[in-house]
Amino acid sequence: MRTAEIRSRFLDYFAERGHTVVPGAPLPTPDPTLLFVNAGMVPFKPCLTGETPAPWPRAASVQKCVRTLDIEEVGRTTRHGSFFQMNGNFSFGDYFKEEAIAFAWELSTKPVAEGGYGLEPERIWVTVHHSDSEARALWRRVAGLPDGRIVSRGDEDNYWSMGVPGPCGPCSELYYDRGTAFGKPGGPDADEDRYMEFWNLVFMQYERGEGHGKSGYPILGELPSRNIDTGMGLERMATLLQGVGNLYEIDETWPVLERAARLTGVAYGSDEDGDVRLRVVADHVRTALMLLADGTTPGNEGRGYVLRRILRRAVRSMRLLGHHDPALPELLPVARDLMAQSYPEVAGSFERIADQAYAEEEAFRSTLRQGTTILDTAVAKVRAEGGSSLPGSQAFMLHDTYGFPIDLTLEMAAEQGVTVDRDGFTELMSQQRERARADARARKSGSTVNTSELRTVLGEHGPTDWRAWDALTTDSRVLALLGTDGTLPVARTGDIVTVVLDRTPFYAESGGQESDAGHLTGASVEADVLDVQRPLPGLVVHQVRVTAGELAAGDPVHAAVDPEWRLGARQAHSGTHVLHAALREILGPGALQSGSYNRPGHLRLDFPWRGALSASARSEIEEAANRALRRDLPVDVRWMTLPEARQAGALALFDETYGEQVRVVEIGGAWSRELCGGTHVAHASQVGVVALTAEYSVGAGMRRLEAAVGNEGFGHLARERDLVSRIAEQLQAPRAELPDRIATLLGRLKAADQENQRLRERENAARAAELAAGSREIGGALLAASVIEGDGPAARRLARSVRDKLPQGRPGVAAIAARDGDKGLMAVALTPAARSAGLSAGTLVKEALQGRGGGTDDVAQGGGIPADQLDQALRKLTDTLAATA
């Protein structure tokens, strides 16, 4: 049975039993504690924890998941991969243990001809929590399982919580006996390779308190509403039903592995190291495909770094297997064809996916060439000095300068028998991140509120009545004042606090749109709203600075958005949609927005593209955007179901989570149709103008456009007009002739520069000949030395020129000291005879400058001393040379 059919049978089975089939969420998740969805329940987390009411009493989904905590173990074991799919059925206060057990048993054992999976009942084992006698009794009664195939386990294996106060409960897991070929008998406790877990049932029935670990917390009591969360591993079930040895051999991964084996000439099963690398390739290519399809782009931080690491591990595994040509163009289309049956979007957006993946591979191939040479040199130096550990600073330099991931440095160093000072590297990375955080804090100061405090507020008062779409003001009541240490009784002049209101007109930052600015006023208080966020689903919080008076919980306030700010924000957000549509109109559907940011007067938009846009392309994009504004295209907002929106061709942001009903913003109908929760103008002409201000690279295969809109856009164009006017006035030329006139001037400047260079070379040659002729013998070598006015390159050029004019049959040293302002530096060049005599330019420079400098035996340079110490440095070099006699 193919994986796609296993998936559809699961959804059909639960749909027939009253479950709402909920589309899986994108892999990037807005949950601040996660980079990617890593379990089937993650999209349902707000419903399961009671933060928001569930829209359905029972639901079913197939959720894409990525787990990367143990990425180095991928391929080494055959039961775990970085990407997997979790089939889940959920109950929100509806059915409980008996029905969950009955559903799992029936679907697992029902004959294939009747819509089930046809597993043999006598080969199924289950585990239960040792305290859960109810589940044990149900397995006996519902499934007819004997006690011998019901295994009791403790908290570590069969008790679930999210690691924080909230819902918890016992679990029950289903295992299938694959037979003697896979291990020894005795059930899951004896061998979890032979007895493969394929389904986990979580019974959420208790509330836990504070504590650590799997069991270090109190149980506070029964939940008022009990829930069911189950997860059936799709790849695990495919392994069982397709009769293969492991998840790398199922229909959605094996063809990739097989293609990699053919490309490398390494037969799968012939060598354990080769098998591991082939499994890494099969897993990582599919994972990368799905991450790219959901909008993640390669980068150096967060999600982007995870994707970059996965892509690079796949490419490097192919190189270690002997394939040195580009690998992803051979492998990624195979993965696309396998996954498209269940996820049509991987085929529909494959041009964009491929562009990003192939650009990343090409960038990594260049990185490998540079970084490998540097790493090999560093390892050789460590060994020559009798060491066994690469300094953390070296690993950090490889990462920071050459984009060499630390995991790759660790792997390659280990292959050469050298460890890496990981602690030193981590410390340098921490310092770098702290600098970035400090910069962010400087831009947006304020208090950080404990999430548990916010959960309490949400539980007591319910969701915020949010009116940003249709209001600029509301009469509101303060529900809570919060600071870093918890609830505050009052906030006074100068305090920055977090305020929760019962209703608000303020837009909370999301979807790339910056939050609103404005004010809170009351009978005895005035406060500026600095930032607005949505830290929990349904809850809007305001960071405010009290400018006068006092503010306390329960106070009535008038909340007012700055109308000019809101107008600018609407113009910028609608302008982003317009620019996105214009981009796709000119460049094609592959130019799909992968990130955006907009605030009043300014927008930026990231999109996948290989190479810089030409001036004509930028002009066409800008013209297409402003043509839409001139046509005054209508801006309409419609609500529909997510499947209806997708059917209508609406574009979705990858890192947003959508409910049953979604908000679709259309500009000119199908010309621009996107899922969006932002604020927008009513007609395109209200944007004013879109003026492109910049276009540049933000990573391999990723470009960024920036634009000014509204009044700022007109201001930008006015400044450009004034600049052109000044240039025309200075050149005394009509504007239409400026390009030709400037080109003529640049040509003249270039010719003048070339002539000056020729004159400098003649002067340099004459001076070099003069210095060489005036050389004197010191310690058996000819020394030509001088102090000049100039920089490092000038000193180096003159030193080489003097060196070349010294008698080549004798040891010769050219030393040029240079004053660069108040700084001093020195360049030294040696003849071949001097090097043969044992002299070293690098050593001479270091001696002259007290260790400040270095280079090769041939040419070296150093600096770091005051200019008035250059004569002293030349005397030191002379003494060193004399001492070598």
Question: What is the DSSP secondary-structure string of 789-806?
Answer: E--HHHHHHHHHHHHHHS
SS3 302: helix
Q: What is the pLDDT of residue 658?
A: 60
CB 286 within 8 A of CB 256: yes
Cα–Cα distance measured from residue 336 to residue 332, given in angstroms and rounded to the nearest whole number:
6
Nearest by Cα to 60 from 24, 96, 84, 26: 24
Q: What is the pLDDT of residue 440?
A: 45
Q: Encode pLDDT of 21-78 as tens digits.
A: 998 988 988 776 788 988 888 888 888 877 778 889 999 999 999 987 667 778 777 7
CB 797 within 8 A of CB 814: no
Pairing between β-strand 473-483 and β-strand 486-487 as defined by DSSP bridges: antiparallel
Ranges of residues in the chain with a pLDDT under 50 are 440-447, 655
Nearest by Cα to 66 from 7, 96, 24, 97: 24
Answering whether pTM is above 0.85, one says no
Q: Is 676 annotated as a binding residue?
A: yes
Q: Is the dihedral of CA 294, 297, 302, 308 positive or negative?
A: positive
Nearest by Cα to 312 from 389, 411, 378: 411
SS3 517: coil
Q: What is the pLDDT of residue 34?
A: 80
Q: Encode pLDDT of 650-662 as tens digits.
A: 887 654 556 668 8
Residue given tokens 């690398």 in the structure block: 277
Residue given tokens 């005394």 in the structure block: 732
Pairing between β-strand 503-504 and β-strand 465-466 as defined by DSSP bridges: parallel
C-alpha angle 685-686-690 in degrees, rounded to nearest 5: 70
Q: Is 573 annotated as a binding residue?
A: yes
SS3 495: coil
CB 482 within 8 A of CB 516: no
Question: How many residues are listed for the chain in this entry?
Answer: 885
Q: What is the pLDDT of residue 249?
A: 93
Q: What is the pLDDT of residue 441?
A: 45
> Which residues sit opposite 868 in a β-bridge?
none
What's the token pair of residue 619?
A: 């002009």
SS3 626: helix
Q: Is 577 annotated as a binding residue?
A: yes
Q: Please state the separation of Cα 325 from the chain's center in Å.
A: 27
Q: What is the pLDDT of residue 762?
A: 84
Q: What is the pLDDT of residue 657?
A: 56
What's the token pair of residue 329?
A: 């163009």
Residue 329 CB-half CA count within 13 A: 7
Q: Please state the separation of Cα 396 from the chain's center in Å.
A: 19
C-alpha angle 396-400-406 in degrees, rounded to nearest 5: 50
Cα–Cα distance measured from residue 724 to residue 716, given in angstroms and rounded to the nearest whole number:
13
Q: What is the pLDDT of residue 445?
A: 40
CA-CA-CA-CA torsion for 642, 648, 652, 658, nearest 10 degrees? -10
Nearest by Cα to 107 from 97, 99, 119, 95: 119
Helix and strand totals (H; E) in the chain: 25, 34
Q: What is the pLDDT of residue 654?
A: 53
Nearest by Cα to 68 from 398, 407, 436: 407
